[in-house]
Amino acid sequence: MSDTLLNATAPDLAMFEQIARATISELPPAFKVLATSVGVTVMDFIPEDLMAEIGLDDPFALTGLYTGIPMTEKSTMDQATAPDTIWLFRRPILDEWCLRGDVTIQQMVAHVTVHELAHHFGWSDEEIAKIDKWWDH
């Protein structure tokens, strides 16, 4: 094994956020403007309170999450209690990336980011495939 691999470190939380924001900035113009208002939070794992709220037992089982009201369900009568947010969970993403072995970490983070944006926009699988080149792999 090369010294480069032995001394390699996994991308940190800041790098994951940078990849997610770059992914958002590369969206088609019609979506980019709307997506920039969605918060991006990157953590190693889902917080325990949020994990309990959605009924999840294994923190490694979730790579990302969207919290908020999807655009297809929003109304002018809605009182937002929290901002729309994309959550990315670094350790589960790293695990899935390692298991796959056929995509870059940038592609993996971009895929999770787009998938969570899909919940925000209310996209179908076909609409996701137009945006997320992941499906080409």
**Residue 8 pLDDT > 70, yes or no?**
no
Mean pLDDT, rounded, for 105-133: 84
- 68: tokens are 């908020």
The CB density around residue 111, as the number of other CB atoms within 10 Å, is: 24
pLDDT > 90? residue 133: no
Number of domains forming the structure of the chain? 1
Q: Among 133, 79, 83, which Cα is nearest to 111's?
A: 133
Q: Which CATH number do you get for residue 92?
A: 3.30.2010.20
Per-residue model confidence as pLDDT tens digits over 71-83:
777 776 666 677 8
Q: Which residue has the higher pLDDT, 134 or 89?
A: 89
Residue 127 structural domain: 9-72+81-136
pLDDT in tens, 54-75: 999 999 999 999 998 887 777 7
- Residue positions counted in the chain: 137
Q: Is the pLDDT of residue 3 over 60?
A: no
- Is residue 4 a part of any domain in this protein? no
* 2 belongs to a structural domain: no
Residue 94: inside a domain: yes
Q: How many C-beta atoms surround the C-beta of residue 54 within 10 A?
A: 10
Averaged pLDDT, 111-131: 83
Which band of pLDDT confidence, cut at 50, 70 and 90, is reported for residue 30? Answer: confident
Q: Is 53 domain-assigned?
A: yes
Note the pLDDT of residue 55: 94
Element (H, E) at 40: strand 39-43
Q: Is 65 a member of any domain?
A: yes
Is the predicted pLDDT of residue 122 greater than 60, yes or no?
Answer: yes
130 in a structural domain: yes
Residue 5 has pLDDT above 60, yes or no: no
Q: Which two tokens stand for residue 105?
A: 């970490």
Nearest to 117 by CA among 83, 93, 86: 86
